[in-house]
Amino acid sequence: MHSLPHRSFPQTRLRRPRQYTWSRDLVAETKLSVDDLILPLFIRENDTSPEIAAMPGVRRYTMDEVVRVAEESCVLGIPLLALFPYTPNSLKDAEGGEALNENNLLNRALKRLKREFGHDIGLLADVALDPYTDHGHDGVIRWGRIDNDETVHVLKQQAILHAQCGADIVAPSDMMDGRIGSIRQALDQANLHHVKILSYAAKYATAFYGPYRDAVGAGKIATLEEPFLKNKLTYQLDPRNVQEALHEASLDISEGADMIMVKPGILYLDVLYRIKEKLQVPTYAYHISGEYTMLRLAAEHGYLDYEKCMIETLFAFKRAGADGIFTYTALDAAKLLQQQ
């Protein structure tokens, strides 16, 4: 008859803390809270469709609706809203002139939200021209290319307008060279020292932005004839590169950025980790539209558990070093975290 092995083997039993919920919580290395969530919101005029076919569960909100979502976000404890406008085609042109209209949709939304909520919730305004150009690019086109310096000249004016209208954070997402230093100098000269800059320093030219471009109506790039304008590879980062992202982030911090963004999120967690480890600055990640849509559609077809996969995804961002996560799941995640 064989005797059972001695009960002292093995001496180290890593399963011990895993036995109960309370003990797993006690030794958990990564924490996720509502404070980590940033809610992107698409805003629209009253006569624009709310539906975003490519993003189930996400919609465009009118001004009144945005106020109600902001109220809900405050109750849930979400600290920051990121606003993105859907601009009607009638207001778009090649230069993106609507971006400099003090009364454009985004600026009106900033004014109203700041008036109604004060400092109870933070407001972030995206700084780029793609919602306003009829070609869908983030910059001004000259001679078949994106003109970097002329675009920066427009962007710093746009950033000042957003700040004056109530933005607590301006977030240049255009990837033009030198725009952080120019915007910081312009804000300071306008006595807007308190306004923070979150730089999309590591924004990659990914194929996963498609649903977002549908949401803001900026999807015409592929129809352009000029070879340098058929995509955004001349200004967004090459998906093959990591050191370049570190260089971009270092430059933007030196030029006055307060925070760094890595975008996309799930596919670029290695970049997020390395930027956070090297620079030790506030670093954020964007759970982008394509990543969100894959999860949502898989869940709707019964292939994945939406809530469990959503929370696991958010933990992945935190584990990689994210100080905050831009995610279309923010409201759902906040409600789930409150229940837990």
21-66 per-position pLDDT tens digit? 989 999 999 999 999 999 999 999 998 999 999 999 999 999 999 9
pLDDT class of 239 with cuts at 50, 70, 90: very high
In a domain? residue 190? yes
Range of the domain at 158: 31-339
pLDDT class of 214 with cuts at 50, 70, 90: confident
Q: Which residues are annotated as catalytic?
A: 203, 263
Residue 149 maps to which CATH number? 3.20.20.70
Phi, then psi, of 118 in degrees rounded to 5: 55, -125
In a domain? residue 25? no
pLDDT digits (tens, 9 = 90+) for 282-337: 999 999 999 999 999 999 999 999 999 999 999 999 999 999 999 999 999 999 99
The answer on pLDDT for 104 being more than 70 is yes
Q: Where are the beta strands (DSSP E) in 162-215?
A: 169-172, 196-203
User: Which amino acid type is present at position 109?
Assistant: A
Which neighbouring-strand residues pair with 122? 80
Q: According to the model, what pLDDT value does residue 1 have? A: 54
Residue 54: CB partners within 8 Å, gap ≥ 6?
Answer: 210, 211, 214, 215, 289, 293
Q: According to the model, what pLDDT value does residue 230 have? A: 83
- Tell me what the mean pLDDT of segment 194-211 comes to: 95
- Rounded to the nearest angstrom, the gap between the alpha carbon of residue 62 and the centroid of all alpha carbons in its chain is 20
Secondary structure tally for the chain: helices H, strands E: 11, 11
Tell me if residue 116 falls in helix, strand or coil.
helix
pLDDT class of 190 with cuts at 50, 70, 90: very high
In a domain? residue 52? yes
| pTM, rounded to two decimals | 0.93
The number of domains in the chain is 1
Q: Where are the beta strands (DSSP E) in 133-238?
A: 141-142, 145-146, 169-172, 196-203
